[in-house]
Chains A and B, each alone.
Chain A
Amino acid sequence: MAWQRKILRVNLTNGTCTPEPLNMEWAQDYLGQRGLATKYFCEEVDAKVDPLSPENKLIYATGPLTGTMASTGARYSVITKGPLTGAIACSNSGGYFGAELRFAGWDMIIFEGKSAQPVYLHIENGKTELLPADEIWGRSVWDTEAILKKKHQDPMIRVSSVGRAGEAQVLFAAIVNDLHRAAGRSGVGAVMGSKNLKAIAVRGTLGVGTIRNPAGFMQATVAAKKVLANHPVTGQGLPKFGTQVLMNVINEMGALPTRNHRDVQFEKAGRISAEAMHEPRPTDGKPNLVTNQACFGCTIACGRISKIDETHYTVLNRPEYWGASGGLEYEAAWALGAATGVGDLEALTFANFICNEDGIDPISFGATVGAAMELYDLGLIKEADVGFPLTFGSAEVLTRLAELTARGEGFGKEIGLGSKRLCAKHGRPELSMSVKGQEFPAYDSRGIQGMGLAYATSNRGACHLRGYTVASEVFGIPVKTDPLVTEGKPGLVKAFQDATAVFDSSGLCVFTTFAWTLADLQPQLAAACEGDWSMEKLALLGERIWNLERQFNNAAGFTGKDDNLPQRLMTEPAKTGPAKGLVSGLDKMLPEYYELRGWSKDGVPTPATLQRLGLPA
């Protein structure tokens, strides 16, 4: 079976926790996690809902392989309507919380309404209760976890919570579990904060004893783990250097967005790279990187654990930041660094710690700071508006804004609106480097053309994790394609988007796809889950989920016109590097993409497409 067949419905308005059977018919069509929770969400929530109103819902969802012995079976997702974008939001996190939720016997939690007072949800297997959050409201994610473990006298409790940013409804607030793993994007933390829901503390001791064919599952997972271990990327590259190895690669390729995408190469990229994290510092002789770390059940272990130089200005006389904690991943290092022009590795690490401590998305935060710095550079934001100059490249500005934004204070409130609203407020909406209101990650679509289409069509706004064509255009996985051309990219983007939707719905990590294809996932699902899990069914499943998300967005008011990129990427050619002279060729790719998807010229799924996928018109 694999599913626990049980969801928990929490009505925050009434203060009730009600178990319900999982809809197994839907599980056959949407698998779990991203797909299944999106189905529930679309069935229960009006697409026009105000994301920060009690009528919006927030779903915590695991996949059927979460908490099992499958490698990377750590994942859970948070599905809601995102306040940053107004689109469907689905943010995925690792760590240990998702597995613990499954061990307690739950597939999913649906939060609805709004509590009159701050509360948290305590789960101990089948016992569920909403408790007052007086002791933790106003506290950071880090404090919240420590307080709840002490209060419940159980160090094994896993906590997923919002920090002060979520409470302040910063529009890109994250939900953080296990101190530094996050459902980071689209502002899911703001929705949680809007409901006066501070945290979920869960302890599960039941395990996942619902595997359809345990012996077959063991065989399938062992085989799949061997594939990961023997692949040079998942077996060696990611454990040692993490995702941060990309900093020098993407810079060399001239696709590293720099200073709000004014440039495509950052002169200080080497100083904030994976290699730099390994180098002993001149001050204390120790490297920034302490070790790598794995999430539950993961045999890759790409996570970074870092320690800041105790003599660095950010932590001088602040011993609370001297411990080892979640270090820089590539996207965070890019946003906090290249996007703002800051080349101080220790300052970026500190800003990253703050993002984890109080729950904000470092991508949207760093990119919004970059936009604010450009507005300041153009004289549209004045020093008097902020209290200090927003100079590109200033580490002090970055770290100060991180603390202000994470706590919803001072000019941090403006940064907390995200770049779209900030740039519109100052009369230059085109300077927001975003799609559907969500800021770009770390690849310039002038230098990696497929990513322009992936960003423009991503259902949750600009995102690299919805269709990571970088794998093909840069790494050569599964085949090498030329990053500078548009030919063939619509099909590539669609294939990545559909396959990713399946992985995101399984409970496993999309990073396995550097070594695996759906053919490696399929035997694990088939052994674990009842029903038909053929390759054909999985291919259809991914496409169905993608179209369901699209239908929600269309119903929310989005149209094909929103499948767009900022003017800068379409009209200002890259200044240096291999893409010098190029702009994004989105206009060449989008019509073919719509055709491949079976959508109208306006980006609407046709009745025939919906019928083929089993979706209601």
Chain B
Amino acid sequence: MTTQAGVRVALKLYASLADYLPAPARRAHRLDLELPAGTTIADVIGQQGLPPAMCHLVLVNGVFVPPGERAVRALVAGDELAIWPPIGGG
């Protein structure tokens, strides 16, 4: 049996979701994570205790990931996962 190497990814939380980051990471809105290979976006959301309903805009490397793909999309090394609650502007 072989052990898969972990993957390093960045979790970026903005607006009111920043409160879910550890205090030292809040100013940069960024937390570097080492995850087991195969960890999905939904896994990270669950592990960090983020309310799924508040995870509205989910981007991996700047590209939107639809809700239906979040439980199956595994993060790979170097991915930047950025999440916002429902937002608007202009």
- Residues of B contacting A331 with CB < 8 Å? 90
Asked if A249 meets B84 with Cβ closer than 8 Å, knowing A236-B16, A240-B16, A274-B15, the reply is yes
Residue of A270, A330, A468, A482 with highest tally of chain B CB at under 10 A: A270
Q: A388 at the A/B interface (Cβ < 8 Å)?
A: no
A232-B87 Cα distance, complex, nearest whole Å: 7
A327-B12 Cα distance, complex, nearest whole Å: 25
Residue of A241, A274, A465 with highest tally of chain B CB at under 10 A: A241
Asked if A275 meets B62 with Cβ closer than 8 Å, knowing A249-B84, A470-B90, A475-B87, the reply is no
Among candidates A238, A245, A511, residue contacting B84 with C-beta atoms closer than 8 Å = A245
Q: B57 at the A/B interface (Cβ < 8 Å)?
A: yes
Q: Is the interface of B mostly helix, strand, loop or mixed?
A: loop
| A232 touching B85, Cβ below 8 Å | yes
- Residues of B contacting A236 with CB < 8 Å? 16, 85-86
Chain B residue with the shortest CB-CB distance to A441 = B90
| B29 touching A246, Cβ below 8 Å | no
- Residues of A contacting B75 with CB < 8 Å? none
Q: A244 at the A/B interface (Cβ < 8 Å)?
A: yes
A577-B89 Cα distance, complex, nearest whole Å: 21
| A232 touching B66, Cβ below 8 Å | no
Q: A252 at the A/B interface (Cβ < 8 Å)?
A: yes
Among candidates B15, B27, B28, B66, residue contacting A237 with C-beta atoms closer than 8 Å = B15
Q: A279 at the A/B interface (Cβ < 8 Å)?
A: yes
Q: B8 at the A/B interface (Cβ < 8 Å)?
A: no
| B90 touching A468, Cβ below 8 Å | yes
Q: A405 at the A/B interface (Cβ < 8 Å)?
A: no
Among candidates A245, A252, A465, residue contacting B62 with C-beta atoms closer than 8 Å = A252
- Residues of A contacting B82 with CB < 8 Å? 248, 252
| B89 touching A232, Cβ below 8 Å | no
| A244 touching B18, Cβ below 8 Å | no
Chain B residue with the shortest CB-CB distance to A248 = B14
A240-B88 Cα distance, complex, nearest whole Å: 11
A480-B59 Cα distance, complex, nearest whole Å: 13
A249-B85 Cα distance, complex, nearest whole Å: 11
Q: A233 at the A/B interface (Cβ < 8 Å)?
A: yes
| A330 touching B90, Cβ below 8 Å | yes
| B59 touching A238, Cβ below 8 Å | no
A279-B12 Cα distance, complex, nearest whole Å: 17
Q: B56 at the A/B interface (Cβ < 8 Å)?
A: yes
Q: A133 at the A/B interface (Cβ < 8 Å)?
A: no
Residue interface mask B37-79, A partner, CB < 8 A = 1: 0000000000000000000110101111010000000000000
A511-B89 Cα distance, complex, nearest whole Å: 8
Asked if A330 meets B18 with Cβ closer than 8 Å, knowing A252-B59, A252-B62, A577-B62, the reply is no
- Residues of B contacting A4 with CB < 8 Å? none
Residue of B56, B82, B88, B89 with highest tally of chain A CB at under 10 A: B89
Return A276 CB to nearest CB of chain B, in Å. 9
- Which of B's residues lie within 8 Å of A, judged by CB? 12, 14-16, 18, 27-29, 56-57, 59, 61-64, 66, 80, 82, 84-90
3 A-B pairs with the lowest CB-CB distances in the bound complex, closest first: A243-B89, A232-B86, A233-B88
- Which of A's residues lie within 8 Å of B, judged by CB? 231-234, 236-238, 240-246, 248-249, 252-254, 270, 274-275, 279, 330-331, 464-465, 468, 470-471, 474-477, 480, 482-483, 510-511, 514, 577-578
Q: Could you show 30 A-B contacts with beta carbons less than 8 Å apart?
A: A233-B86, A234-B88, A237-B15, A237-B87, A238-B88, A240-B15, A241-B15, A243-B88, A244-B89, A245-B87, A246-B89, A249-B14, A252-B62, A252-B82, A253-B59, A253-B63, A270-B29, A274-B15, A275-B14, A275-B15, A275-B18, A275-B29, A331-B90, A465-B90, A470-B90, A474-B57, A477-B88, A480-B66, A482-B64, A511-B90
